[in-house]
Amino acid sequence: MRGKIITISSGKGGVGKTTTTANLGLGLAALGYRVICIDADIGLRNLDVILGLENRIVYDIVNVIEGRTTLRRALVRDKRFPEHLRLLPAAQTRNKEAISEEDMERVAYEAAEMADFVLIDSPAGIEHGFRYAVRPADRVLIVTNPEVSAVRDADRVIGLLEAYGRAEPSLIVNRIKPELVRRNEMLDPASIVDLLAIDLIGIVPEDRSVLSASNRGQPVVLDKRSSAGQAYRNISRRLVGEKVPFMDLRGPSFLQRLFGGA
Amino acid sequence: MKGTAEGLRLRPGQRPWDEVLQALEEHLEASRGFFRGGKVVVELEGRGVEPEALEALRALLEAHGLTLWAVLGGDEATARTVRAHGIRAQVPAEEEETGGAALFLRRTLRSGQRLQFPGDVTLVGDVNPGAELVAGGNVLVWGRVRGLVHAGAFGDRGAMIWALDLNPAQLRIADLIGRPPEQRRGRVRPERAYAEGDRIIVEAWRVRK
């Protein structure tokens, strides 16, 4: 059976698309699923660094598309879950024009034959790179931050996905600081969901360990003590269809507000 | 020249046609495609119109995306000329009254999306920040307005805007532009906006009993 293709997108850059892709890839692998992560950000290769796999790369996605190697040979095995997680790296020395929407679709479908989940890390923006990244997707996850500009860009991307006739996307609100939300200094997840009017699949709290974990190539999902790691583990389980309650980030009032309470 | 829900209404008076056309052209140039899709009604008020002037008028309007829809108020000979060019010389009263065109939509306008319609628009959904809704006539939003809404876009200051939650980046009625106060007032309630003098007034939208 063909695996499910999930594209992680946002519109705005810097909201945590790549971090999310890395953590969900590892999270799903840790649950025992076979996962292939595709770094679609040609020219700005990052996913390999965050996964800590940079020094294992031999081939990249453009090599596969140009027929210089096979997909199977280009895939880099993860050092923690070699049987479950593999990465198709972006090309660092090329640009987005090197691949077409059809190319991406072909590679993603082939990858889906070899895995339960294919996660595509979309480039920022709404141009060609975004379009080829969402083209093969069965499902799109939109990552946003609790910032007005990021939410606006997420709304734009959702509108474009609707215009392409894609399935309705799901939302991940990243880098929530509960204490700032409590003091009304930060957009709260409930009002973001209210505006964007799409399904919420995860809220990831701001957590200092995310940055250091990414820098070390050891994504936070592997850290049992990290709250962001817990959030990513929860999202991974929701992706496979489990019902996981949302984390209690700020006492009962937070959840009440999120689910249409006061 | 007057904006209507669907386009423009021209009353050339007794001015020579080439002068009328020139003034019209300047107006359309300045509007940069604003009237695209609109219909034009010319009221002759008794004066005649030569076939050449009629064709020149039609060509000018079409070049700006407008349709010469009706030429009213000429004598019988003029009306024959008008009809011979495939243009209405008479419009049923109720059609003129309502304009006819209206759009009903169930969707949310998202950032970067623009809806433009030469008539009245009813939207069941939200107008999100960064979205634009532009109508020649009235606008009713059964939802939240957080982006830009422009009613009476052809210049009809009589157009109105209604919304369940009117908290726009900007409101426009005809040539008037209004911005909401920086501080959001009180609780959310249905509101309507209309032009009074040179200002846009926003007030509670109540159904009178």
Residue B209 lies in a domain: no
Strand A199-205 and strand B139-145: the pairing is unpaired
Q: What is the model's pLDDT at position A48?
A: 95
**The 3-state secondary structure of A54-94, one letter per residue:** HHHCCCCHHHHHCCCCCHHHHCEECCCCCCCEEEECCCCCC
Distance from CA of B110 to the nearest CA of A (A): 6
Distance from CA of B143 to the nearest CA of A (A): 11
Residue of A nearest to B131 (CA): A156
Q: Where are the alpha helices (DSSP H) in chain A?
A: 17-30, 47-50, 61-65, 71-74, 101-112, 128-134, 148-163, 178-182, 189-196, 208-216, 227-239, 252-258
Residue B50 lies in a domain: yes
Give me the domain span that covers residue A109.
4-258
User: Are residues B120 and B87 both part of a single domain?
Assistant: no
Distance from CA of B176 to the nearest CA of A (A): 26
Of the ranges A22-31, A133-142, A160-169, A215-224, which one carries the lowest mean pLDDT score? Answer: A160-169
Nearest residue to A134 (alpha-carbon basis) of A236, A11, A12, A8: A8
Residue B80 lies in a domain: yes
Check CB contact of B111 with chain A, cutoff 8 Å: yes
Task: State which of B73, B97, B121 marks the end of a domain.
Answer: B97
3-state secondary structure of B114: strand
User: Are residues B89 and B107 both part of a single domain?
Assistant: no
Residues of chain B with pLDDT under 70: 32-34, 92-100, 182-185, 209
Q: What is the model's pLDDT at position A106?
A: 97
User: Are residues B85 and B146 both part of a single domain?
Assistant: no
User: Are residues B134 and B61 both part of a single domain?
Assistant: no
A158 closest CB neighbour out of B110, B126, B146: B110
Q: What is the model's pLDDT at position B29?
A: 82
The pLDDT tens digits for B104-151 are 999 999 999 999 888 899 999 999 999 999 998 999 999 999 999 999
- Rounded CA-CA distance B39/B45 in Å is 19
The pLDDT tens digits for B190-202 are 999 999 999 999 9
Domain CATH for B7: 3.30.70.260
Q: What is the model's pLDDT at position B44?
A: 87
User: Are residues B48 and B123 both part of a single domain?
Assistant: no
Pick the residue with more confidence: B8 or A257? Answer: B8
Chain A residues whose beta carbon lies within 8 Å of the beta carbon of residue B112? 155-156, 159-160
Domain CATH for A42: 3.40.50.300
User: Residue A103: is its pLDDT beyond 90?
Assistant: yes
Residues in Cβ contact with A19 at an 8 Å cutoff, skipping those fewer than 6 apart: A50, A174, A210, A214, A219
User: Are residues B109 and B193 both part of a single domain?
Assistant: yes
B130 closest CB neighbour out of A155, A162, A197: A155
Judged by CB atoms within 8 Å, which residues 124-143 of B form the interface with A? 126, 128-130
Contact A111, A71 (CB under 8 A): yes
Q: What is the model's pLDDT at position A262?
A: 38
Give me the domain span that covers residue B21.
2-97
Residue B192 lies in a domain: yes
Task: State which of B97, B128, B158 marks the end of a domain.
Answer: B97
Residue B190 lies in a domain: yes
Check CB contact of B167 with chain A, cutoff 8 Å: no
Check CB contact of A162 with chain B, cutoff 8 Å: yes
Residue B172 lies in a domain: yes
CB contact under 8 A, B129 and A155: yes
Q: What is the model's pLDDT at position A203?
A: 95
Distance from CA of A159 to the nearest CA of B (A): 6
* Amino acid found at A133: A
Confidence category of residue A142, pLDDT binned at 50, 70, 90: very high
Domain CATH for B122: 2.160.20.70
The pLDDT tens digits for A157-167 are 999 999 888 77
Tell me the mean pLDDT in the region A204-214: 91
**The 3-state secondary structure of A211-247, one letter per residue:** HHHHHHCCCHHHCCCCHHHHHHHHHHHHHCCCCCCCC
Chain B residues whose beta carbon lies within 8 Å of the beta carbon of residue A155? 110-112, 128-130
User: Are residues B124 and B174 both part of a single domain?
Assistant: yes
Task: State which of B69, B97, B125 marks the end of a domain.
Answer: B97
The total number of structural domains that make up chain A: 1
Of the ranges A215-219, A224-228, B59-63, B89-93, which one carries the lowest mean pLDDT score? Answer: B89-93
Q: What is the distance between the terminal CA atoms of chain A, rounded to a whole angstrom? A: 45
Tell me the mean pLDDT in the region A41-58: 93
B128 closest CB neighbour out of A155, A160, A162: A155
Q: What is the model's pLDDT at position A83?
A: 96
User: Are residues B111 and B84 both part of a single domain?
Assistant: no
Of the ranges A62-66, A106-110, A242-246, A254-258, which one carries the lowest mean pLDDT score? Answer: A254-258
Q: What is the model's pLDDT at position A259?
A: 55
Chain B residues whose beta carbon lies within 8 Å of the beta carbon of residue A159? 109-113
User: Are residues B108 and B189 both part of a single domain?
Assistant: yes
Residue B182 lies in a domain: yes
Averaged pLDDT score across all residues of chain A? 92
Chain B residues whose beta carbon lies within 8 Å of the beta carbon of residue A158? 110
Residue of B nearest to A159 (CA): B110
Chain A residues whose beta carbon lies within 8 Å of the beta carbon of residue B129? 148, 152, 155, 195
CB contact under 8 A, B111 and A195: no
Query: Across the strands, what pairs with B194?
Result: B201
The total number of structural domains that make up chain B: 2
B112 closest CB neighbour out of A148, A159, A195: A159
- Rounded CA-CA distance A156/A126 in Å is 9
CB contact under 8 A, B112 and A195: no
Nearest residue to A124 (alpha-carbon basis) of A35, A10, A256: A10
Chain B residues whose beta carbon lies within 8 Å of the beta carbon of residue A153? 111
Residue B183 lies in a domain: yes
User: Are residues B131 and B155 both part of a single domain?
Assistant: yes
